[in-house]
Amino acid sequence: MSVPEVVTALHHEESTDPLLLGGETFTSRLLLGTGGAPSLESLERAIRASGTQLVTVALRRVEASSSGAMLEVLDRCGVRLLPNTAGCRTAREAVLTARLAREAFGTPWVKLEVIGDEHTLLPDPIELFDAAEQLVADGFTVLAYTTDDPILGRRLADAGCAAVMPLGSPIGSGLGIRNPHNIALLRDAVSVPVVLDAGIGTASDAALAMELGCDAVLLASAVTRAREPERMALAMRHAVEAGRLARGAGRIPRRWHAEASTQMSGLPEL
Amino acid sequence: MKVSVNGTPTDVGEDATVATLVAARAGGHDRVAVARNGDVVPRSSWADTRLTPGDRLEVLAPTAGG
């Protein structure tokens, strides 16, 4: 194989290295939240630029919900829907919301969120685990939004969650990945996909998540609230692919001192 | 009779069902879900589920969300 052929093959193979999630195959490793977009047109352009195949949606009282136009956009984009349980504070609320979403959207997939605090929107681990067990028993494909605690992540995976989705930092904060070490530990602790969810601010955060070994990235605000959502969506797409490639390529070890890349032998005396 | 719909006290007819409620409150919406007194009412049961006084109903529809 010539060099161009190898590069082409690598590019093709690596950039489409599929994500196996909940028994389904995805060629994109970027999941997009639909919340926060300034308009449906902006959302559609961002979805298309991101290349995502899986987007989150929510349920709200009908008076406060978007019109059917949003669903038309999502259907037109050909993306799969992942209902969330955003806003739920107890296992009971989250389980009921998941069941309502299954009824409304006709999917057993759920992004399970159980929030413990209004200011940080951090997950409540006790309620989360309770809800995860109930939903797995009820046949749901549970993608659990969780803290970056590797032990809790392992417990959620052991309970049958299809994916564990640790936060990088609080939802919408754009603070990036505050504890990369925990994300890497969590990645090693479970065999199901790990999706970095929440806290991404810009493209380098998404790339770092993938370099740490995450299988995918889920983000919303970083794109929908960017000054130019479509352009940021494209940046995120490239960042996720770059991070995945870098992870697979094997980075050089960190060194305390420099190591010349130009040979010293043959150096002239000038 | 009086029921609560999405947190608002509401008068409905004596023969009201979940189906008539959805038609009145969410006519133009697709992929609606209904909870009655804390339980899901499956779409297949909407027409047969008669409302009773004091019912707490939540009529939900899709919206954007992270």
DSSP A21-81: ETTEEES--EEEE-TT-S-HHHHHHHHHHHT-SEEEEEEEEGGGSPPTHHHHHHHHHTPEE
Cβ-nearest to A86 among B29, B35, B65: B65
Residue A207 clears pLDDT 70, i.e. is over it: yes
Residue ranges of A for the binding site? 172, 198-199, 220-221
- Identify the three-state secondary structure at position A142: strand
Span A205-220, mean pLDDT?
Answer: 97
For chain B, the 3-state helix, strand and coil shares in percent, each to the nearest 5, are 15, 40, 45
Helix count and strand count (H, E) for chain B? 1, 5
Q: Choose the closest CB to B6 out of A56, A61, A198.
A: A61
Q: Is the pLDDT of residue A60 over 80?
A: yes
Confidence (pLDDT) at A63: 86
The 10s digit of each residue's pLDDT in A188-204 is 999 999 999 999 999 99
Closest CA to A233 of A189, A268, A203: A203
Q: What is the DSSP letter of A228?
A: S
Angular region, A266: left φ>0, alpha ψ -120 to 50, beta rest: left
- Please state, in angstroms and rounded to a whole number, the distance separating the CA atoms of residues A119 and A92: 21
Distance CA B41, CA B45 (A): 6
Which pTM value belongs to this model?
0.90
Please list the residues that pair with A19 across neighbouring strands. Answer: A26
A173 is catalytic: no
pLDDT at B27: 82
Considering only CB atoms, A65 lies closest to which of B34, B40, B62, namely B62
Write out chain A residues lying below 8 Å of B43, CB-based: 103
A165 touches chain B (CB under 8 A): no
Q: What residue ranges do the domains of chain A occupy?
A: 17-248
Reported CATH class of domain A17-248: alpha beta
- Which two three-digit tokens encode residue A254? 């960190």
Cβ–Cβ of A62/B25 closer than 8 Å?
A: yes
User: Which residue ranges form the domains of chain B, and what is each CATH number?
Assistant: 2-60 (3.10.20.30)
How many Cβ pairs closer than 8 A exist between chain A and B?
101
Residue range A98-121: average pLDDT? 96
Work out whether strand B8-11 and strand B33-36 pair parallel, antiparallel, or are unpaired.
unpaired
Interchain contact, A43 vs B64, CB within 8 Å: yes
Could you tell me if the ipTM is greater than 0.90? yes
Percent with pLDDT over 70 in chain A: 94
Q: Do A58 and A35 touch, CB atoms closer than 8 A?
A: yes
Contact A56, A31 (CB under 8 A): yes
Q: Å from B39 to nearest chain A CA? A: 7
How close does chain A come to B36, measured CA to CA in Å? 11
